[in-house]
């Protein structure tokens, strides 16, 4: 027997990882230089979570995937152009800052409120997905707080695999130290799953999925509620780029044997 789930994926947008980032100070706290000009992508780990959600939904008839995303409306729209052809989902857009310098608890409150407001949402069938960390705040703390606000105490982080058994139980593989996985069994939803890389490849672009998604994405963006997320009570004494410039000694034309001896000597030193 398959269980239909309501899978809510929380995922915001982050600057395309290839861009050069530089912090600047503004009257509202730190920000990224040229932030609005930087091309954005869906947060990489949240993206994995979305693919896992879609894959699960396709195997559990009756399931539905929502992507709840907080970010500046124009940027969300831009990112949807690349995401909407990937997998079917319904967008819940929240218009606000996607900066990494905002406070996780404020973001969590906005996300939780948006999830509670999804028409027909059934918290007993809810699987709350997201990335185990974002590529912006990089803290891995928002999702737990959203879960707490929705009263979910089955929570998993660093998830690489979720198996939904026929008896309704969930088996979860979480990353732990030393390249190992902790295996847990959870008797029933709701549950929070912060995904690591997962097991799925990037789905190909599917124009038909895109066409269908876009019909609901555009109204969702138009309906996006503004959310004032900031960083109350948090102050930044400094934000700086690490000094990564080292003096590199370039050794050319040294025979492989000699290089090998040097490396062995270096590796063996304490």
Per CB under 8 A, the segment of 1-9, 87-95, 118-126, 131-139 that binds other proteins is 131-139
**Residue 206 in the binding site for other proteins (CB under 8 A):** yes
Q: Segment contacting other proteins (CB under 8 A): 13-21, 51-59, 62-70, 121-129?
A: 13-21
Residues 38, 40, 43: CA angle, nearest 5 degrees: 135
- Between the alpha carbon of residue 258 and those of residues 110, 168, 248, 249, the distances in Å are 60, 61, 19, 16
Query: Could you give the string, one character per residue 34-73, with x where binding to other proteins holds by CB under 8 A and - elsewhere?
Result: x-xxxx----xx----------------------------
CA distance 186 to 169: 6
Residue in 27, 61, 120, 245 binding other proteins, rule: CB under 8 A: 245
Binding status of residue 95 toward other proteins by CB under 8 A:
no
Q: Which stretch binds other proteins (CB under 8 A): 4-12, 50-58, 98-106, 113-121?
A: 98-106
Q: d(Cα 50, Cα 230) in Å, to the nearest integer?
A: 26
In 10 A of CB 10, how many CB atoms?
31
Which residues lie closer than 8 Å to 219 by C-beta, 6 or more apart? Answer: none
Measured distance CA(239)–CA(31) in Å, rounded: 9
Helix axis angle, 73-83 to 207-223, nearest 10° = 170
Residue 116 touches other proteins, criterion: CB under 8 A: no
By the rule CB under 8 A, 124 interacts with other proteins: no
Choose which of 58, 59, 188, 226 interacts with other proteins (CB under 8 A): 188
Site string for other proteins, 146-165 (x = CB under 8 A): -xxx---xxxxxx-x-----
In the 8-state DSSP scheme, what is residue 41?
E
121, 123, 125, 197: which one binds other proteins (CB under 8 A): 197
Asked if residue 30 binds other proteins (CB under 8 A), the reply is: yes
């Amino acid at each position: 027997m398959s269980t239909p789930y309501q899978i809510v994926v929380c995922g915001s947008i982050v600057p395309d990882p290839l861009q050069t980032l530089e912090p600047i100070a503004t009257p509202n706290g730190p920000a990224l230089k040229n932030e609005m000009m930087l091309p954005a992508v869906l947060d990489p780990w949240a993206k994995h979570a979305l693919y896992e959600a879609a894959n699960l939904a396709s195997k559990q008839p009756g399931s539905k995937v929502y992507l709840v995303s907080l970010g500046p409306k124009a940027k969300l729209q831009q990112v949807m152009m690349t995401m909407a052809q990937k997998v079917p989902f319904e967008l819940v857009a929240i218009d606000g800052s996607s900066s990494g310098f905002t406070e996780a608890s404020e973001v969590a409150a906005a996300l939780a409120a948006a999830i509670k407001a999804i028409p027909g949402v059934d918290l007993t069938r809810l699987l709350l997905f997201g990335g185990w960390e974002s590529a912006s705040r990089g803290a891995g703390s928002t999702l737990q707080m959203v879960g707490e606000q929705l009263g979910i105490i089955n929570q998993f982080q660093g998830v690489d695999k979720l198996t939904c058994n026929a008896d309704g139980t969930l088996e979860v593989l979480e990353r732990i130290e030393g390249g190992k996985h902790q295996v847990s069994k959870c008797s029933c939803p709701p549950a929070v799953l912060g995904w690591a890389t997962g097991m799925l490849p990037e789905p190909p672009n599917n124009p038909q999925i895109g066409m269908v998604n876009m019909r609901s994405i555009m109204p969702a963006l138009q309906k996006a509620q503004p959310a004032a997320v900031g960083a109350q009570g948090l102050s930044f004494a400094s934000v700086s780029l690490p000094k990564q410039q080292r003096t590199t000694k370039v050794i050319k034309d040294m025979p492989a044997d000699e290089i090998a001896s040097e490396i062995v000597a270096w590796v063996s030193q304490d």
